[in-house]
A and B are shown apart, each in its own frame.
Chain A
């Protein structure tokens, strides 16, 4: 068995840092309406948290961590934003008119349809970062198969193989 080339220090640091970053990203999202922050920067931070994990422990690890695929995040983000836009129609108002909750919610404060919209932006940006960067990062490891024969290498390869099969199918569809 070859030694794991990845830095142990980085791994442990990231293990601690990742939850904190995710928490921070939520904080950014929620405070965005009154102070610097918002869905866009929050989403970037959340994405960065996963990028760190991908660099420290490999993309297969990130794949296991994520409850859903990056595409789903992107789609959910779009649906959230769309819902925020269409929700006012139910109340007889124009598209994207802001709606407000009467009472304040603890921790969050004033809430309304803007939060739904911002959450959509958050999810979409996060999905974008994870989708693109993790995909690229995986390619980096895939092109150096001898580098990572550690515990998570076999799931990486399995995932890659599954992806390759999917890609082949896609190409076939392109041809027909």
Chain B
């Protein structure tokens, strides 16, 4: 039951990272890499104790009122993912230390990537669906920071924002889906939902499926949301190697596979996932071959594989799921290695375009070796794990229906493109005659070699010895996704059959694709990029917001006050006319003579304020009417209000007096017509308020709230000043909110004062 500890390890690593890097410099990478490695050991140990069909569950109460437990559970599928994340994570953490060696932002980077690592583990281990959602969003946020690592670069900021907006808006839809899922199944824990019956016949099923699928598609960069992933290459190479090969982008695939026992198996599920998956697979494989940037080629080929995975989960029979599990593992290993190798090339040569890279084999022999091995796996060459994955990928679709055969053809075609991708990334930069590069090329440091080499070798070893993984890793994962127990026996060579023939065809087709690559890239296509559509929608929103702001916030105080007063009057008048209340005119005669005098004085002051010909007179008149109001409070036994009103009035007068120093000379701005309009509005508002006061005086409003406060004040609040007891005790939370606003306000005002001042001084001097 150690496995939730891994998340704790990752998060504490995130907290310590900046400190470690400051103290140890580049050596911090060894400690940082030790964290994921420890997690890897934990999960490997858990794997040996795993019982198929009996997931391990750990639960802590967190927010019981919302049914949110801090619950974690581990089954075969979660374990496969956790192993992949921590395995690739170990290598990438080590690699990042070399890649960003000497960078002042290394500490920050390690902090965010550890946070990401922890969130990703949390995502795959969460039992509670809402906790999973929290981790889901945390991965989006931390990946935003990681993609935007080079934040001085505007392009990086734009790409980071794009990834964030796409994944987070998908996340919001997913939240709706998860809540519906929780309501429909009656449980908020995966362990119980998965053990329960399928929801296929439930009334909410279409809504749940749509929301969950959109969430997964945005996260896993499925068509038409695929564009954010290639743009996310703006981040440093270790980010791509971890986030965009094995972890973040697979979160959507993870989710779909996770809910497969509950939501899968219907026609809607099948057609939605297979069509979106296959379109993504083929289209992105084609797009990959239209790039010249190493990392972009890899990014598009990644989305293509993600499409294949979604398609396999959509098919959803045991063979397809088994193929998906093997492909998941194989892809994580080879793509991680290729991303790291591409990063090493970029790091050492300063060049990422395949056209300008060649002949690096002698200068970077280790990187070449790793890249070549990984590329073999990517291309599906025997005896790599990628070959086995592809065999099962083909096998999963053979001979079931016409639709599946169509999918098979598409898959073979996409894989031909991937063979070309493997050539472009794994071989072309290394073979041929050396070309000039911006930097003098030499082999990457050891920390950057270990990662690609280990991952590529793992692909080879698992390929040669599939028995290492079939019963131990793949079988539990497959059983968990299928919701039933399965045996798995992977074979490297299973006789001459159709998949083997197709594999050979794929390799041959790949050679053709390599030949066609320059021509296909040069071909001009009248395409509408999904990215442009997205950016245009975003720009449209901004424009709309801009226009609305211009209308609602035009900067004229006069306009604001008029709007507020007119709106309030309209609502009040409407309510007033509808309720038809009686005016309490009888109580007017109860007023004493001195009260009348005061009222007349207040009104006179208010009128004089508007008629004043200088600011100081206007100010004094306004102050006078304020004082009058304070006196009224005092008469009607509200000493607290009176006191506060008096103080506020005094300070307001000082504030205005000080502000006047900055204003231009006094002038009348309004025309006569505007004046009359304002008088009408103000007069109407005043009359309305008076009428309401009279109504309020007339009706016996329910006063149990006031009675409660009056009675409870002394025994419970231990104070005789009811107003103050309400403020600091009964409704202290409200008061706290108010003073926070006040505090933020004063800090903002001080900042503005300081920011504006120097320019003013310059103005004075000139």
Contacts and interface: CB of A to CB of B under 8 A. Distances in A.
Interface string A14-54: 00000000000000000011111111110011011001000
Interface in B628-648: 639-640, 642-644, 647-648
Interface stretch (A2-10, A60-68, A75-83): A75-83
Interface in B235-257: none
Contact of A33 (B661, B718, B751, B758): B718
Contacts of B724: 32-33, 37-38, 118
Closest 10 CB pairs of A and B: A33-B719, A36-B639, A44-B647, A167-B754, A34-B720, A136-B658, A96-B732, A38-B724, A114-B728, A128-B746
B645 to A, nearest CB: 10
Contact of B761 (A100, A136, A142): A142
B727 A48 contact: no
A71 B750 contact: yes
Contacts of A124: 739, 742-743
A100 B725 CA distance: 14
Interface string A96-109: 10101000000000
Given A77-B743, A96-B736, A143-B661, A35 B750 contact: no
Given A33-B724, A110-B718, A70 B750 contact: yes
Nearest to B757: A167
A131 interface: yes
B750 A131 contact: yes
Interface in B708-752: 716-721, 723-725, 727-729, 732-733, 735-736, 739-740, 742-743, 745-747, 749-751
Contacts of A75: 743
A112 interface: yes
B655 interface: yes
Contacts of B750: 70-71, 131-132, 135
Contacts of B761: 142, 164
A129 interface: yes
Contacts of B733: 85, 95-96
A132 B723 CA distance: 27
Contacts of A140: 658, 661
Interface of A: 32-41, 44-45, 47-48, 51, 55, 70-71, 74-75, 77-78, 81-82, 84-85, 95-96, 98, 100, 110, 112, 114, 117-118, 120-121, 124-125, 127-129, 131-133, 135-137, 139-140, 142-143, 163-164, 166-168, 170-171, 174
Contacts of A132: 655, 746, 749-750
A118 B721 contact: no
B654 A39 contact: no
11 contacts: A33-B717, A33-B728, A35-B721, A41-B640, A44-B651, A77-B739, A118-B728, A124-B742, A127-B743, A139-B753, A167-B758
Interface string B654-693: 1100110110000000000000000000000000000000
A77 B725 CA distance: 19
B728 A170 contact: no
B650 interface: yes
Contact of B721 (A33, A96, A127): A33
A135 B705 CA distance: 42
A92 B743 CA distance: 29
A34 B718 CA distance: 8
A124 to B, nearest CB: 5
B735 A121 contact: yes
B522 interface: no
Contacts of A39: 728
Given A40-B644, A74-B747, A166-B754, A117 B659 contact: no
Given A38-B640, A70-B750, A174 B755 contact: yes
Given A44-B648, A45-B647, A164-B761, A121 B739 contact: yes
B764 interface: yes
A81 B727 CA distance: 12
B754 A44 contact: no
A163 B661 contact: no
A47 B721 contact: no
Contacts of B659: 136
A78 B739 CA distance: 7
Contacts of B739: 77-78, 81, 120-121, 124-125
Nearest to A35: B721
Contact of A129 (B651, B721, B755): B651
A167 B755 contact: yes
Contacts of A114: 717, 719, 725, 728-729, 732
A78 B740 contact: yes
Contacts of A55: 654
Nearest to B648: A44
Given A82-B736, A128-B746, A170-B754, A32 B717 contact: no
Contacts of B754: 163, 166-167, 170
Contacts of A164: 757-758, 761
B11 to A, nearest CB: 23
Given A100-B718, A143-B764, A171-B758, A78 B662 contact: no
A167 B661 CA distance: 21
A104 B754 CA distance: 46
Contacts of A127: 743, 746
Nearest to B756: A167
A75 B720 CA distance: 30
Contact of B720 (A33, A74, A82): A33
A91 to B, nearest CB: 16
B743 A136 contact: no
A170 B759 CA distance: 13
A66 B205 CA distance: 66
Interface string B76-104: 00000000000000000000000000000
Contacts of A47: 651
A95 B736 CA distance: 12
A75 B746 CA distance: 10
Contacts of B728: 32-33, 38-39, 114, 117-118, 121
B570 to A, nearest CB: 33
A36 B391 CA distance: 85
A71 B747 CA distance: 7
Nearest to B152: A176
A169 to B, nearest CB: 10
Contacts of A34: 719-721
A119 to B, nearest CB: 10
B492 to A, nearest CB: 56
B150 to A, nearest CB: 14
B650 A98 contact: no
A135 B753 contact: yes
Contacts of B725: 33, 114
A36 B717 contact: no
Nearest to A32: B724
A139 B661 contact: yes
Nearest to A169: B754
Nearest to A135: B753
B105 to A, nearest CB: 15
Interface hub of B729, B735, B746 (most chain A Cβ within 10 A):
B746
